[in-house]
Amino acid sequence: MRAALEAGRTDPIGLDRAFVFAFPPGDKPVFRPRSPFHDDTARALADQSNLEMLAGADVTDRGARDIWETIVATGRRAGEVLDLRLDCIGLHNGVPLLWHDQSKVGNYNEAIRIPDYTLQRLRERQRKTVTRFQDRYARTPTAEERATMALFPRGYKNPHGTYPVSHSRFHTHFRRWVLHLDLGPAVPHQARHTLATKLLAAGASLQHIKRYLGHVSERMTEHYAEPRELRRMGEEPANSRRGQAIGGAFRCCGTGRLIRDFAVTIPSDCQSPKIVEGVVMRRWPSWPRP
């Protein structure tokens, strides 16, 4: 209607000018992507004492700390971590892998390499989940039962541990923790943006980050890690400068598909990041090491 008003087509039909201006314009809402965590916030959310506080507030021990640390270490969506099944981790040729479903983009049984520290935490969570089952039924779960069990089962109306902790419960727990730490607005999904930005700054291309995060297009990846935004912040992407190329490939899917050409450029004047089979990984500040 605004366009009709500007073109002079409202007067012939008797449409009042005041009505046109009072009518909602109907524009699309402005899309504002999440920003990465600031360094101070990242340090606080990775501090050991604060992580212990998060675990202590989880009085029924449903794995709030393990969920959060897995989100940080892998860059997965919160829902992808919450929905992990009991037997979602394992070693393949000595490499620790995490299998998960990226249901948002239709990728299932995807696997990514995880740090040994994360592997040990999730193994301990497996033990706790199985122990709960044994305490209830005085036996170990069968192979068929294990296949249906959640790694982080909710504590109500869930006799066989099939249903995972809900999104609302974890986000409420996380929000209270952040509020207690007085960090300002912060949501778990920002950890994914933080990892994407660190990968780009370390030398990974948008195509590589797109594959690792499970995006369907580079346009979406640009919302997570924008080279121009890094330049504005004074942090030039490493792959835009002269350096040495480091190539590699890593096993990405439970179906055995390989992602190859995972080549990244590391500037010779930059501190060497951790290379995991061709994937550039930087730990957060003060992130606990195994």
208-211: long-range contacts, CB 8 A cutoff, minimum separation 24: 208/262, 208/264, 208/279, 211/252, 211/259, 211/262
Predicted model pTM? 0.73
Higher pLDDT pick, 12 / 184: 184
Instruction: Determine the 3-state secondary structure of 245 from DSSP.
Output: strand
Place 247 in a pLDDT band, splitting at 50, 70 and 90.
Answer: very low
Which of 247, 239, 255 has the alpha carbon at shortest distance from 278? 247
**Do residues 154 and 194 share a domain?**
no
Return the minimum-mean-pLDDT range out of 24-28, 43-47, 192-196, 199-203: 24-28
Percentage of residues in the chain having pLDDT higher than 70: 72
Q: How many CB atoms lie within 10 A of CB 95?
A: 14
| Rounded CA Rg of the chain | 23
State which of 4-8, 20-24, 84-88, 265-269 shows the largest mean pLDDT. Answer: 84-88
Residues 6 or more apart in contact with residue 177 via CB below 8 angstroms:
50, 53, 54, 57, 64
Residue 286: both structure tokens together: 């003060």
Instruction: Please report, for residues 33, 63, 75, 90, 286, the alpha-carbon distance to residue 67 in angstroms, rounded to integers and kept in the order given.
Output: 23, 6, 11, 17, 18
Place 65 in a pLDDT band, splitting at 50, 70 and 90.
Answer: very high
Calculate the average pLDDT of the chain.
Answer: 77
Q: In this predicted structure, what is the pLDDT of residue 237?
A: 55
Q: Are 96 and 115 in contact (CB under 8 A)?
A: yes
Residues 6 or more apart in contact with residue 111 via CB below 8 angstroms:
92, 97, 98, 99, 100, 251, 252, 253, 254
249-267 per-position pLDDT tens digit:
222 332 222 222 222 222 2
Kindly give the residue spans of alpha helices, DSSP state H, lying in 83-189: 116-137, 143-148, 167-181
112-133 per-position pLDDT tens digit:
999 999 999 999 999 999 999 9
For residue 289, being part of any structural domain is answered with no
Domain count of the chain?
3
Looking at 181, 203, 221, the residue that finishes a domain is: 181
Which of 221, 193, 223 has the alpha carbon at shortest distance from 207? 221
**Do residues 170 and 122 share a domain?**
yes
213-245 per-position pLDDT tens digit:
888 887 778 777 665 555 555 555 555 443 332
**Do residues 46 and 70 share a domain?**
yes
Helix H, strand E, coil C: the string for 175-217 is: HHHHHHHCCCCCCCCHHHHHHHHHHHHHCCCHHHHHHHHCCCC
State which amino acid sits at residue 116: D
**Do residues 23 and 44 share a domain?**
no
Q: Are 88 and 151 in contact (CB under 8 A)?
A: yes
**Do residues 25 and 85 share a domain?**
no
**Do residues 47 and 138 share a domain?**
yes
For residue 288, being part of any structural domain is answered with no
Instruction: Determine the 3-state secondary structure of 18 from DSSP.
Output: helix
**Do residues 87 and 152 share a domain?**
yes
- Alpha-carbon distance 59 to 92, whole Å? 35
**Do residues 56 and 168 share a domain?**
yes
Angle value at C-alpha 69, between 88 and 157, nearest 5 degrees:
60
- Alpha-carbon distance 226 to 249, whole Å? 24
**Do residues 53 and 71 share a domain?**
yes
Question: How far from the centroid of its chain's Cα atoms is residue 60's Cα?
Answer: 24
Return the minimum-mean-pLDDT range out of 30-34, 180-184, 202-206: 30-34
Longest CA–CA span in the chain (Å) reads 82
Taking each helix axis from N to C terminus, what angle separates 167-181 and 39-46, rounded to the nearest 10 degrees?
110
Range of the domain at 19: 1-30
Which of 75, 81, 67 has the alpha carbon at shortest distance from 224? 75
**Do residues 22 and 45 share a domain?**
no
**Do residues 213 and 133 share a domain?**
no
